Structure formats: C-alpha cells, structure tokens
Amino acid sequence: MRGSRVSLVAISIGGLLAIAPVFGPLRETWHYLADFFGERPQSMRGPDISFYVELLALIVCPVGLFLFTIGLVLFLRSRRQTAASLK
C-alpha cells in the first residue's frame, strides 16, 4: 500500500511539472512567435530573464513527463501485485 502512495505522489508531481510550463512562462512564447511570424520589428538587445525562464521550463517539462511515466508504471505494477496476492 505504501508503494502505491509513493507512486501516486510521483504521478502528481510529474504531471504538474509536465504541464506547468504551458501555463507559466511558455504562455508568453506565443506572443513572441506571433510577432516573429507577423514580421513585426523586434529589439536587437540580448535575451532577457524570460528567455532563461523559458529555457528552464523546457528542461523541466521532459523531466516531469519521465517522472510521471515512472510513477504510472510503478503504480500499475503495485496494483497488479496486490491483485495477484489477493487471489
């Protein structure tokens, strides 16, 4: 039973890490892309802090997906073992 709780926590945290960039810093990326494709003038200065936040978000997203997948596999495996032991 303890293993399934740990797996559920891993699934929850992994899912939040996987979708957090979409609702957080990457939401602003759509504005940058719209400016780029609309050929609107853009500043030529160096990247601001939001660039680094978006880069970090892009790194965190696959880590969240990996954590979610591992938690899901462990959860399903623990459920299967519990069902087999009850029979």
pTM over 0.95, yes/no: no
At 82 the pLDDT is 64
Q: How many domains does the chain have?
A: 1
What digits encode the pLDDT tens for the residues 23-78?
766 666 666 667 767 777 766 666 667 667 777 777 888 888 898 999 888 888 88
Write the single-letter amino acid at 84.
Answer: A
86 pLDDT more than 70:
no
Which of 60, 77, 67, 74 minimizes the C-alpha distance to 20?
A: 60
Q: What ranges in the chain are assigned the alpha helix state H?
A: 2-23, 29-37, 49-86
DSSP annotation of 47: P
**Structural domain harbouring 56:** 2-86
Report yes or no: 36 and 42 within 8 Å, Cβ to Cβ: yes
